[in-house]
Amino acid sequence: MNAMSQKNTITEKAVDIVEICPAQELLKLLSGKWKPEIFQLAIASDLRFNKLLRQIEGTNKQSLAIALKELVAAGLLDKVVVRQKPLHIAYSLTEKGKSLIPVFRQLEQIAVTL
C-alpha cells in the first residue's frame, strides 16, 4: 500500500468514527492539557492570561497559550485585547461556549460518580 492510499484509508476511518460517534469531536474540543480547567474557570468569569497561570497549578506559558488558542479557534472562547493601561487580553465564553455549559456540568456530575 503506498503512502497516498494509506493516508486515504486513515482519513476514511476517521470519518467513519465521527459518523459513528458525533460526540467525539466535542470531547476532543474539551479535552487536552488545561482545557477543562480553562473552560470551568471561564464559566465563572472572564479570564486573563497571567491570572490563569497562577490559578492552574502546574501550567506554563506555552501550554496555556496553546490551549487558549485552540479554544478560541474552536469558537468556544473570545479573545479581546483590552486597550487600557496596563494593556491586557481577556478571554470569555462565546455563545457556542455558553451552550456547552450544561454538557460540561453533566460530564462533571458523571465524573464524580465514577
Cell numbers describing residue 105: 456540568
Domain 33-113 falls in which CATH fold? Arc Repressor Mutant, subunit A (1.10.10)
The reported pLDDT for the residue numbered 31 is 85
The reported pLDDT for the residue numbered 97 is 95
Q: Which amino acid is at 25?
A: E
Point out the residues of the chain with pLDDT beneath 70.
1-19
The reported pLDDT for the residue numbered 47 is 95
The reported pLDDT for the residue numbered 14 is 52
The total of other beta-carbon atoms located within 10 Å of residue 113's CB is: 5
- Is the separation of the CB atoms in 76 and 39 below 8 Å? yes
